[in-house]
């Protein structure tokens, strides 16, 4: 393994999912639902396969039906207008979008400011692009992990090329507020920075939290690459259909990198996702309400088991603090948890450069059947 990647090893998701399989523990680690999305979408994929749509290489930028559906979705929900031909690019999941955007936009030596804890592929992709990551740490404040705007401003230097944002935020469940996003936008404009914003959990916001795409803020549309994905919203994480929306110059740049990564992927699934994005609003509302109910089940169970619970405003993850259980090392805790309690979770420390800051936090996924979440909670109560 070369020096750029040497520090990364195996992703925590592979490690912990393998541990779940080996021990038979309930897997609340890697974020994937234990129930597939709507039957009609599975049928849409089967229909595309049978009718021979997407079985051969689809067009490099993505099938026109999906690019149009993405543009209509951004317009309908957020009032953001994108040209499906020049401002939308379909990718192999958000993962490829992140990689292609960073490979296309970062020069070796450039600094990339990212919110810490950060989704694990950010660090690896910044490294592959030869960039240097500069983490800005989200810290607990009144029950949620929040961004310190002064720290954010201080992190930007003359070498900063782009800001890498994620809202709703994995793993903390924070949904950035309009005030926080405005500060990010003003900074980007003032310092003339590009912004890559990962919004794959855009439909998973709860209670009175609102997902505000960064591209809707003044001065942002032309400098922002917005990343979306079908995996989370439609509960088909294996289909690997994602996309970016951005101004034509940025899309062209990202496409340059993307064409040498996969060229294209997921042909028949692209047609199915085009249908998914056009589902009536009731689908999205039901999905949200359903996940909110699951959050309640797991949050209550974790609370009763003695964890400090950071109730997430978005995503399908709950970050907890394990210190009330009398332990401080989330890594050791997660490695032992399958044997001790038959549950798998993710140590947030892997998402930090400042490992000590992340040490006491552990993430649990609640995108699972409520009965399974209850069983997990029962098991975790034996820890106390």
Q: Contact positions toward ligand GLN, by CB under 6 A?
A: 13, 30-31, 170
- Which residues inside 110-149 make contact with ligand PMP, applying CB under 6 A? 119
Q: Using CB distances below 5 to 8 A depending on partner kind, what does residue 30 bind out of ligand PMP, ligand GLN, none? A: ligand GLN
- Which residues inside 355-374 make contact with ligand PMP, applying CB under 6 A? none
Name the CA dihedral angle for 306, 311, 317, 318, rounded to a multiple of 10 degrees.
-20
Scanning the structure block, which residue is given the tokens 């998402």? Answer: 351
Q: Which is nearer to ligand PMP, 88 or 305 (CB)?
A: 88
CA–CA distance, 187 with 237 (Å, rounded to integer): 34
Pick the binder of ligand PMP from 170, 226, 235, 245 (CB under 6 A): 170
* Token representation of residue 295: 């959050």
Q: Does residue 95 touch ligand PMP according to CB under 6 A?
A: yes
Helix (H/G/I), strand (E/B), else coil: 245: strand
What is the closest distance, in whole angstroms, from the C-beta atom of residue 237 to ligand GLN in the complex? 7
What is the closest distance, in whole angstroms, from the C-beta atom of residue 29 to ligand PMP in the complex? 12
Scanning the structure block, which residue is given the tokens 């595309």? Answer: 48
Name the CA dihedral angle for 240, 243, 249, 250, rounded to a multiple of 10 degrees.
-80
What is the closest distance, in whole angstroms, from the C-beta atom of residue 158 to ligand PMP in the complex? 29
- Which residues inside 313-352 make contact with ligand PMP, applying CB under 6 A? none
**Cβ within 8 Å of residue 135, ≥6 positions away:** 113, 114, 115, 116, 118, 155, 352, 353, 354
CA–CA distance, 199 with 212 (Å, rounded to integer): 9
Q: Which is nearer to ligand PMP, 261 or 383 (CB)?
A: 261
How many other C-beta atoms lie within 10 A of the C-beta of residue 86?
Answer: 15
Q: Using CB distances below 5 to 8 A depending on partner kind, what does residue 203 bind out of ligand PMP, ligand GLN, none? A: none
Q: Which is nearer to ligand PMP, 342 or 352 (CB)?
A: 352
Distance of CA 300 to the CA centre of its chain: 24
Q: Is 217 exposed, middle or buried (0-12, 13-18, 19+ CB in 10 A)?
A: buried
What is the closest distance, in whole angstroms, from the C-beta atom of residue 199 to ligand PMP in the complex? 9
Q: Does residue 199 touch ligand PMP according to CB under 6 A?
A: no
Q: Using CB distances below 5 to 8 A depending on partner kind, what does residue 224 bind out of ligand PMP, ligand GLN, none? A: none
Q: Does residue 93 touch ligand PMP according to CB under 6 A?
A: yes
Q: Using CB distances below 5 to 8 A depending on partner kind, what does residue 94 bind out of ligand GLN, ligand PMP, none? A: ligand PMP
Whole-Å CA distances, 36 to 13, 65, 92, 283, 354: 19, 23, 19, 14, 36
Which stretches of the chain bind ligand PMP, using CB under 6 A? 31, 93-95, 119, 166, 170, 198, 200, 229, 231-232, 237, 240, 242
């Amino acid at each position: 393994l070369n020096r750029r990647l040497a520090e990364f090893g195996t992703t925590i998701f592979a490690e912990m999912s393998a541990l779940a399989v080996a021990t038979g523990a309930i897997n609340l680690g890697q974020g994937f639902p234990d129930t597939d999305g709507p039957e009609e979408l599975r049928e849409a994929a089967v229909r595309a396969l049978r009718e021979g749509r997407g079985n051969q290489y689809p067009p490099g930028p993505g099938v026109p039906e999906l690019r149009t559906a993405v543009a209509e979705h951004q317009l309908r929900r957020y009032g953001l207008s994108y040209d499906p031909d020049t401002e939308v690019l379909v990718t192999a999941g958000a993962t490829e979008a992140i990689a292609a955007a960073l490979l296309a936009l970062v020069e070796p030596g450039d600094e990339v400011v990212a919110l810490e804890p950060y989704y694990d592929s950010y660090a690896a992709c910044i490294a592959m692009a030869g960039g240097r990551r500069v983490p800005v740490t989200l810290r607990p404040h009144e029950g949620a992990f929040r961004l310190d705007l002064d720290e954010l401003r201080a992190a930007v230097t003359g070498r900063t090329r782009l800001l890498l944002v994620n809202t709703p935020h994995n793993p903390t469940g924070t949904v950035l507020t309009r005030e926080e996003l405005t500060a990010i936008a003003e900074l980007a404009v003032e310092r003339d920075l590009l912004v890559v914003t990962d919004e794959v959990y855009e439909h998973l916001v709860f209670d009175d939290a609102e997902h505000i795409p960064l591209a809707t803020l003044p001065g942002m549309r032309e400098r922002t690459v917005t990343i979306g994905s079908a995996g989370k919203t439609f509960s088909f994480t294996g289909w690997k259909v994602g996309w970016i929306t951005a101004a034509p110059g940025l899309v062209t740049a990202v496409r340059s990198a993307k064409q040498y990564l996969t060229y294209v992927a997921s042909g028949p699934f692209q047609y199915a996702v085009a249908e998914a994005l056009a589902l009536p609003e009731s689908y999205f509302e039901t999905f949200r309400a359903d996940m909110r109910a699951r959050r309640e089940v797991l949050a209550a169970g974790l609370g009763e088991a003695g964890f400090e619970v950071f109730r997430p405003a978005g995503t399908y993850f709950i970050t907890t603090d394990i210190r009330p259980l009398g332990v401080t090392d989330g890594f050791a805790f997660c490695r032992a948890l399958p044997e001790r309690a038959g549950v798998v979770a993710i140590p947030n420390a892997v998402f930090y450069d400042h490992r000590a800051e992340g040490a006491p936090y552990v993430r649990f996924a609640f995108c699972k059947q409520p009965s399974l979440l209850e069983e997990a909670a029962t098991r975790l109560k034996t820890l106390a």
